[in-house]
């Protein structure tokens, strides 16, 4: 059983107080939705949790160990931000190849693309894809690591109903396998994921 | 480090125009010279020693956006930072890739250009050494400027204003054929400065 605990988290960006005395915890098999208006600090919170931002007050504990002191923490999570991490001038296949190298994991591209019914896009240049298609491909990065936590920053933006359902199913499957998911969202997802905090 | 190095080299291979554009640019800068100054052997040899440095400087300067900024803008920098615990390892990998992708092609075409400009074998060897050590130092310089200006958009002119004065010592000593030890020393100093400042720039981005 894994547990992620946020204790008295306060974070400044420049002189602006973005996160103030945030406390919450989340266990294996749960999904937490972070809601808030634009600029409320949702992305900052995910970047803090992912250790990209290290200057903050308070503690983030994963299985009672401070994530700032745990050199293995980076292997435990997968972060998919709002940027797609795709090279526009390359084909989808070549982008997957680059991820395969950096994540050092061999994976079947066809099987991967079938997740979102994107097999027909394999040889297409990323520049020619729609924003929704790019978003789906960026979400395929979740398959490249055996992580215990997924941090997803606005994952439903640009997705149509069918792909949103596919993503929801992937999140639920990950929860079933004891994974922890933290999602930021502008839209109300309470009818799907009940665990929600507002910042 | 090897995963990042391999990834960057594959990225350059997939965008194969990178190799082609920089070496073509370098060749074109040199080839227009005889049209401007005539085909006098001695004059061309003198011009060649100077103009190869202009070509090299421009090739390195114009490609500096690709060191960190391209990965920053599309979000790949987050993946790189997550997968590589040491920022220093990332910087060293970027040095190697940038030199291999944007400088090595210039060294491949250099013998042909030297032949076209009537450069003797002895002079060619010294020019080659000068360019080799100088190009290393120049790559170190553009890397730290690129890291420091990470996230700043459309700032190629600002970057050029910062970089060009730092290139001047390389250009001064580069045109003197016997000065490769000085260029080596300059490159070593640039390396120390670059490691420190690039790491600071990347940490600023992370923080």
Structural domain including B9 reads 2-206
Sheet of A180-185, strands arranged across: A77-80, A149-153, A180-185, A31-35, A196-198
- Beta carbon pairs, A and B, within 8 Å: 68
Q: Which CATH architecture has domain A3-198?
A: 3-Layer(aba) Sandwich (3.40)
Nearest to A85 by CA among A96, A75, A77, A93: A96
Which residue of B lies nearest to A142 if distances are taken between CA atoms?
B79
Q: Beta A196-198 vs A31-35: how paired, if at all?
A: parallel
Degrees to nearest 5, angle at CA A173 with A167 and A175: 105
- Rounded to an integer, the average pLDDT of A145-149 is 90
Q: How many domains does chain B have?
A: 1
Q: How many residues does chain B have?
A: 207
Tokens for B202, please give them. Answer: 């990347």
Token look-up 């979000």 returns B75
Which residue of B lies nearest to A126 if distances are taken between CA atoms?
B74
Is A41's Cβ below 8 Å from some Cβ in B?
Answer: no
Identify the pLDDT of residue A179: 93
Taking only the tens place, the pLDDT of each residue in A68-92 is 998 888 889 999 999 999 999 899 9
- State yes or no: pLDDT of B17 exceeds 70: no
Q: Is A33 helix (H, G, I), strand (E, B) or coil?
A: strand
Identify the pLDDT of residue B18: 66
| Interfacial residues of B (vs A; Cβ cutoff 8 Å) | 3-4, 6-7, 10-11, 14-15, 70, 73-76, 78-83, 85, 206-207
**Helices B121-148 and B104-116, packing angle to 10 deg:** 150
In angstroms, the CA B12 to CA B101 distance is 7
Distance from CA of A191 to the nearest CA of B (A): 31
- Using a CB-CB cut-off of 8 Å, the residues of chain A touching B75 are 81-85, 138
Nearest to B115 by CA among B127, B103, B100: B127
- State yes or no: pLDDT of B49 exceeds 90: no
- State yes or no: pLDDT of A149 exceeds 90: yes
- Using a CB-CB cut-off of 8 Å, the residues of chain A touching B206 are 52-54
CB A161 within 8 A of CB A192: no
For all residues of chain A together, what is the average pLDDT? Answer: 90
**Residue A163: Cβ within 10 Å count:** 20
Taking only the tens place, the pLDDT of each residue in B50-61 is 889 988 998 898
- What is the reported pTM? 0.88
**Residue A164: Cβ within 10 Å count:** 16
In angstroms, the CA A27 to CA A181 distance is 9
Taking only the tens place, the pLDDT of each residue in A85-143 is 999 989 999 999 999 999 888 888 888 888 888 899 999 999 999 999 999 999 999 98
CB B56 within 8 A of CB B131: yes
CB A11 within 8 A of CB A56: yes
Taking only the tens place, the pLDDT of each residue in A155-173 is 999 988 899 999 999 999 9
- State yes or no: pLDDT of B158 exceeds 70: yes
Token look-up 């013998």 returns B111
In angstroms, the CA A131 to CA A134 distance is 5
- For B118-122, B127-131, B140-144, which range has the lowest pLDDT when averaged over its residues? B118-122
């Amino acid at each position: 059983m894994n547990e992620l605990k946020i204790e008295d988290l306060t974070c400044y960006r420049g002189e602006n107080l973005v996160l103030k005395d945030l406390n919450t915890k989340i266990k294996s098999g749960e999904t937490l939705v972070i809601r808030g208006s634009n600029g409320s600090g949702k992305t900052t919170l995910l970047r803090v949790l992912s250790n990209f931002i290290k200057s903050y007050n308070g503690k983030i504990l994963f299985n009672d160990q401070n994530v700032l002191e745990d050199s293995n923490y980076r292997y435990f999570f997968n972060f998919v931000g709002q940027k797609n991490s795709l090279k526009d001038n390359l084909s989808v296949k070549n982008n997957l190849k680059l991820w395969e190298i950096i994540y050092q994991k061999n994976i079947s591209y066809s099987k991967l693309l079938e997740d979102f019914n994107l097999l027909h896009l394999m040889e297409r240049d990323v520049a020619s894809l729609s924003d929704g298609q790019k978003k789906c491909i960026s979400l395929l990065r979740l398959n490249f690591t055996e992580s215990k936590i997924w941090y997803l920053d606005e994952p439903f933006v640009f997705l149509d109903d069918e792909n949103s359902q596919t993503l929801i199913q992937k999140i639920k499957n990950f929860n079933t396998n004891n994974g922890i998911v933290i999602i930021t969202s502008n839209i109300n997802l309470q009818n799907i994921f009940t665990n929600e905090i507002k910042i | 480090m090897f995963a990042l190095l391999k990834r960057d080299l594959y990225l350059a291979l997939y965008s194969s125009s990178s190799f082609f554009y920089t070496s073509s640019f370098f060749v074109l800068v040199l080839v227009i010279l005889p049209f401007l100054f005539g085909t006098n052997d001695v004059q061309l040899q003198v011009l060649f020693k100077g103009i190869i440095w202009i070509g090299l400087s421009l090739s390195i300067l114009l490609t500096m956006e690709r060191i960190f900024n391209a990965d920053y803008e599309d979000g790949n920098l987050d993946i790189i930072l997550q997968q590589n615990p040491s920022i220093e390892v990332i910087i060293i990998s970027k040095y190697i890739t940038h030199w291999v992708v944007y400088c090595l092609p210039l060294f491949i075409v250099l013998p042909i250009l030297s032949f076209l400009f009537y450069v003797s074998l002895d002079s060619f060897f010294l020019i080659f050494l000068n360019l080799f050590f100088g190009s290393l130092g120049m790559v170190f310089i553009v890397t730290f400027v690129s890291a420091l200006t990470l996230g700043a958009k459309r700032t190629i002119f600002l970057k050029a204003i910062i970089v060009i004065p730092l290139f001047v010592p390389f250009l001064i000593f580069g045109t003197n054929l016997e000065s490769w030890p000085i260029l080596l020393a300059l490159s070593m100093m640039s390396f120390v400065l670059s490691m420190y400042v690039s790491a600071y720039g990347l940490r600023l981005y992370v923080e």
